[in-house]
Amino acid sequence: MSSFSAPSTGRRRNLYAPPPCPHLADYRSNAHGLAKPFRSLQPCLRVRPLGRPEIRREPQEIPRCSPCSAADGGGCGMGPRLYACLACAAVCCPAHAPSHAEECRPGHEIAVDVDRAELFCCACGDQVYDREFDKAVVLAQIAAAAANASASCSLPESLRKRRRVDYRPWTPDPREWATMRRESSPLLLPDASDPYSAGAANTSTSSPSSPPWGLRGLNNLGNTCFMNSVLQALLHTPPLRNYFLSDRHNRFVCQQKRRRKKDGSGGSMGGDRRNPSGGLPVCLACDLDAIYSGVFSGDRTPYSPAKFLYRWWQYASKLASYEQQDAHEFFISMLDGIHENVEQDQHKPQSQGNGDCCIAHRVFSGVLRSDVTCTICGFTSTTYDPCLDISLDLDSNQNYTNVPTTKSHACNGENDLILSSQICGVSTLMGCLERFTRPERLDSDQKFFCQHCKVRQESLKQMSIRKLPLVTGFHIKRFAHSSIKKMSRKVDRYLQFPFSLDMAPYLSSSILRSRFGNRIFAFDGDDSDAAIDLASEFELFAVITHSGTIEAGHYVTYLRLSNQWYKCDDAWITHVSENIVRDSQAYMLFYVQKTLYYEASEDVSAS
Amino acid sequence: MSASNDGNSSPRSQLASRCFEDLLDSIIVDVASECHRIARLGLDRNLEEEEEELRLSVQARVADPSSSTEANSKNVVDIFGLTHPAIADEIFECMNCGRPIVAGRFAPHLEKCMGKGRKARKVTRSSTIARTRHSRGSPVSVYAPYSNATNSNRAPNGTTGGSGEEYADYPYGVP
């Protein structure tokens, strides 16, 4: 780790230290004959629970500026900042610090802000950063927390990293080639202008003039737009699409297996949820496979997902606790349905975090981390939970974005002033995510039992994302249900969402680092692989919008294929501009990881 | 803060003002120090992209303020050059009862056919008792949207039909 790229390329971001100023470099190399720089500071690092690390020679010391006796800055009007010289421990306020450095140089330029534990170069007049120093500070903070016996639960086994392997492209051997030629025939790509034509065989990728593969309308079977919209998004979810188009779940093979199993268990099993009329157990993955075949067949007339609806109702009749089905509920129900079938078949472990159980979890399952911290002693309790998507609250109040307005002043005046005034007051996806990962003070009626204090204390809760799924789905909570008024209302507020999204600031590693003051330190749980920085970049590929009211509303999906946007409104597929998508009222958003990585398989047979 | 400029200049209020100023300065320096660290360490590397996305969104909303495109999309020709009726008119067999059903009416039919909806239960009570013994559906209807929004006696587009089952009224076409 001797050289580091500039921050903008994002390499090894968690350990990046800017190049030191000459004075800091001098201090480090000389270190006044000490074995380690900053060693004199270490015993002076004081950490209070939930507080910042401070520099105090004695625990109750009140530092004062030697020349002017200002304590926390009163007399000189320079504000409450005090710097302790690293060389001689002389304490100065900002007014006197430069003269101290000047008089005593060389060697007395570097000082430390006693209240913030930040290094300051009095000669350069700027805050400076050093990895060794930060490490000392973080270790002091961790030691202080450990004194409270904070027992964060260890990472579940399912999350332990498997080593990464290089992608090996598959090429068929001669026998496989022969099989492919014998058992398959090329799909006929119909003429774009005449969907009913037989068309010519097209072995290359579709030409720019003809619509992309897999684009096909879905007939509305009677208020089933909630199902159609989710199906369109799933049909074009890249890892899911690749899985089914690679025949990884062949419905004919699966049906045979189910039949054999049923016969083997001695005839009709009577009625149960998966087997309502004593027939074959329902397999939603098979029914989804059938839809993939239909939609990617090249036929452009709208497809009726009737059989899928039938199967899903057979599966979901147990979900009668929901009065109304909405698109998000259908999405979750469908993924659960795919999961349940696989689970029953292969007795895979329930653990969904690493997605080994089924394709639905492999694609959509992530892991959320929840930290609850006692405000009195700082004891933190950590839990991990799998999630299929992230539900975000949409503030009905003004939600200001965190775009700093300082930047706009630097650019061409008027345009940016107008821009920033328009920006304020707009809800954004990143704003929602920031709120989602913000430390939240729990209500006093939700006091958390602190294992250290042994009583219920007020606490802070903070969520973060421990593991990102391949495809991150966001659900915007637009339907507010009031149990008091016994009615629901829809929040129509516009939500801005980006086409490219970097999830890094919401990861557990980032949240944890910010909790420790963004120090340069390799925290526990940080993936050491440099490439992980790229793994947090996502691209939008599907937007499900809802228009209208709760009682009478309509779902529509916008799909991004080859960077073109298509509106899928039941049976009607139209090409739309980017602007229309940006302007739409998002209800569900689907982002896919830009770069995929492969982990060594744990399954010995799959090589 | 120009607290020293207000009328009251007693030592006590001066002290209080200075105290407040110190607190305020402390907070400002806190934020400055934290932002300085974030900027220097490159932890805000995506600021440019974020601002660009916001700018594009603002542009998009200005360019297309109305959602009129949503309203009349049903009358257009789609990218395959096809038009479609408001109610899908493809006909296929119901996989539960075998009858030929119009696609656009399939869901309400299936609801009654499978004995799911509340209305279905009331109408054909005796015939669904046997079926509900096997299924685990609870009395609360999952399919309320259908029974609320589409009265089984009326098509969604407002035309009236007979009070009998729907496929008897709309055998092979949309009224």
Supply the ipTM of this predicted assembly: 0.74
DSSP state of B43: T
Cβ–Cβ < 8 Å for A389, A331: yes
Question: To probe the interface with B, which of A21, A582, A594 has the most B CB atoms within 10 Å?
Answer: A582
Question: To probe the interface with B, which of A219, A329, A537, A547 has the most B CB atoms within 10 Å?
Answer: A219
Q: Could you give the 3-state DSSP secondary structure of residue A391?
A: strand
In this complex, the residue of B54, B81, B116 whose CB is nearest that of residue A313 is B116
* H or E element, residue A55: strand A53-55
User: pLDDT of A192-248, one tens digit each?
Assistant: 445 444 444 443 444 445 788 889 999 999 888 999 999 999 999 999 999 999 989
Smallest Cα–Cα separation from A44: which of A34, A58, A31, A28?
A58
> DSSP letter string over A407-440?
HHHHS-HHHHHHHHHHHTT-EEHHHHHHHHTS-E
CB < 8 Å to A520, chain B: 41
- What number is the average pLDDT over the span A551-562? 90
A501: closest chain B residue by CA: B50
Residues A456 and A381: their CA atoms lie apart, in Å, by 13
For residue A130, CA distances in Å to A16, A21, A89, A113, A511 come to 10, 10, 18, 14, 21
Query: CB B70 to CB A494 under 8 A?
Result: no
**Single-letter amino acid code for the residue at B127:** S
- Nearest C-alpha of chain B: how many angstroms from A281? 13
User: Which residues, 6+ apart, have CB-to-CB distance to A351 below 8 Å?
Assistant: A156, A158, A357, A386
Q: Which residues of A are the active-site residues?
A: 225, 554
Q: Could you give the 3-state DSSP secondary structure of residue A371?
A: strand
- Nearest C-alpha of chain B: how many angstroms from A185? 24
Residue A85 has pLDDT above 90, yes or no: no
CB < 8 Å to B54, chain A: 401, 403, 419, 423, 426, 428, 496
Residues A298 and A199: their CA atoms lie apart, in Å, by 10
Beta bridge partners of residue A218, listed in sequence order: A303
- Nearest C-alpha of chain A: how many angstroms from B163? 18
Provide the pLDDT for residue A422: 46
B66: closest chain A residue by CA: A583
Q: pLDDT band at residue A142, thresholds of 50, 70 and 90?
A: confident
Q: Could you give the 3-state DSSP secondary structure of residue B93?
A: strand
Query: CB A192 to CB B80 under 8 A?
Result: yes
pTM over 0.95: no
In this complex, the residue of B18, B105, B110 whose CB is nearest that of residue A313 is B110
Average predicted confidence (pLDDT) for chain A: 78
In this complex, the residue of A302, A310, A316 whose CB is nearest that of residue B110 is A310
Residue A111 has pLDDT above 50, yes or no: yes
Q: Could you give the 3-state DSSP secondary structure of residue A124?
A: coil
Residues A308 and A321: their CA atoms lie apart, in Å, by 21
Quick one: what percent of chain A has pLDDT higher than 90? 32
Q: How many residues does chain B have?
A: 175
In this complex, the residue of B18, B49, B82 whose CB is nearest that of residue A74 is B18
Residue A97 has pLDDT above 70, yes or no: yes
Q: pLDDT band at residue B114, thresholds of 50, 70 and 90?
A: confident
Cβ–Cβ < 8 Å for B107, B146: yes
Query: CB A575 to CB B57 under 8 A?
Result: no
Query: CB A573 to CB B88 under 8 A?
Result: no
Cβ–Cβ < 8 Å for A70, A93: yes
Residues A460 and A511: their CA atoms lie apart, in Å, by 14
For residue B175, CA distances in Å to A258, A307, B160, B163, B165 come to 42, 25, 10, 16, 15
In this complex, the residue of B34, B58, B107 whose CB is nearest that of residue A422 is B58
DSSP state of A525: T
Please work out, in degrees rounded to the nearest 5, the angle formed at the alpha carbon of residue A295 by the alpha carbons of A291 and A301.
Answer: 120
Q: pLDDT band at residue A143, thresholds of 50, 70 and 90?
A: confident
Q: pLDDT band at residue B34, thresholds of 50, 70 and 90?
A: very high
Q: Which residue has the higher pLDDT, A59 or A136?
A: A136
* H or E element, residue B59: helix B47-63
To which residue do tokens 């009749």 refer?
A317
Q: Which two tokens stand for residue A495?
A: 């939500």
Provide the pLDDT for residue A69: 66
User: pLDDT of A341-376, one tens digit each?
Assistant: 765 555 555 555 566 788 999 999 999 999 999 888
For residue A43, count CB atoms less than 10 angstroms from its CB and return exposed for 0-12, middle for 13-18, buried for 19 or more. Answer: exposed
- What number is the average pLDDT over the span A155-163? 57
A301: closest chain B residue by CA: B82
Query: CB B103 to CB A221 under 8 A?
Result: yes
CB < 8 Å to A304, chain B: 88, 90, 92, 103, 106
Query: CB B142 to CB A320 under 8 A?
Result: yes
CB < 8 Å to B47, chain A: 404, 407
- What number is the average pLDDT over the span A279-289? 87
CB < 8 Å to B67, chain A: 547, 583-585
> DSSP letter string over A164-214?
EE--------HHHHHHHHHH--PPEE--TT-TTS--EE--SPPPTTSPPTT
Provide the pLDDT for residue A123: 86
What sign for the dihedral angle of Cα A304, A310, A315, A316?
positive
Beta bridge partners of residue A121, listed in sequence order: A110, A126
For residue A164, CA distances in Å to A382, A596, A598, A605 come to 27, 11, 6, 18
A75: closest chain B residue by CA: B18
Query: CB A556 to CB B70 under 8 A?
Result: yes
